[in-house]
Amino acid sequence: MLEAITGKVFATIFTLSVFLFSSYTGNDPAFRTLNCRAGEKYLVVCSSLISAFDNDFPDVFKSGSTIPINFQLSIRNKNLSLVSRSFQNSVKYDMANAVYEIRTGGMNRRLQTPSYAAMLAEVSGFECSLPYDPSWGEVSITLTASLPSVRFEQLQKKVDLMVLWKYQKPKVSASLSLQKPS
């Protein structure tokens, strides 16, 4: 058992070293269309990142470091800022149990999965529910994503993950009328 875990740690260090010291292929991240629904009291905003976690990300996600994905949600009426909120999804690979531990900030969920595809679907997704006021009228909703710098303990090195997105911050916007029909 200990040999298996040690082997996984060394394999992770090797793949991270190759990633950090070789040429990498960046991604061109984007969002799917922003889906906004106004209920009686809450506004639900949903989207997901596409083409954001290809190429070098499987090694990054399996590093054992916590990998955060930051989301910034802005709701405006003309030049007036009504809402500005930050959310964060994160994933950490547990080598001992071979599972991804995922946290989604918008809906405050925690889950675990051994499936890379299931992890990607969760960590790429954005969904939140916010109280709103119908008097806000016609609003513009903007969602932006970014990646922070992460310290990889195995390498004793901090890496700006935005390099893997070619320093692009994906953004999506939508307009919505929040006025209730009379």
Phi-psi region of 107 (alpha: psi -120 to 50; beta: other; left: phi over 0): alpha
Length of the chain: 182
pLDDT, averaged per 10 consecutive residues of the chain (182 residues), comes to 49 47 74 95 96 92 95 95 97 96 93 97 96 94 97 87 95 92 64
Is-above-0.75 flag for pTM? yes
CB 64 within 8 A of CB 92: yes
- Nearest to 173, CA basis, from 133, 140, 135: 140
> What does each C-alpha distance from 174 to 45, 111, 120, 141, 146 come to in angstroms?
10, 30, 24, 5, 19
Which residues, 6 or more positions from 123, have their beta carbon under 8 angstroms from its beta carbon?
53, 67, 69, 89, 90, 91, 102, 104
Q: What is the pLDDT of residues 91-113, one digit of tens each?
A: 999 999 999 999 999 888 999 99
How large is the C-alpha radius of gyration of the chain?
Answer: 19
Residue 26 has what pLDDT?
84
Q: Is the dihedral of CA 146, 149, 152, 155 positive or negative?
A: positive
CB 7 within 8 A of CB 87: no
Q: What is the pLDDT of residues 38-52, one digit of tens each?
A: 998 999 999 999 999
Map tokens 């996600």 to a residue: 61
Residue 97 has what pLDDT?
95
Within a 10 A sphere around the Cβ of 26, how many other Cβ atoms? 15
Query: Measured between alpha carbons, how far is 40 from 154 in angstroms, rounded to an integer?
Result: 49
Residue 155 has what pLDDT?
78
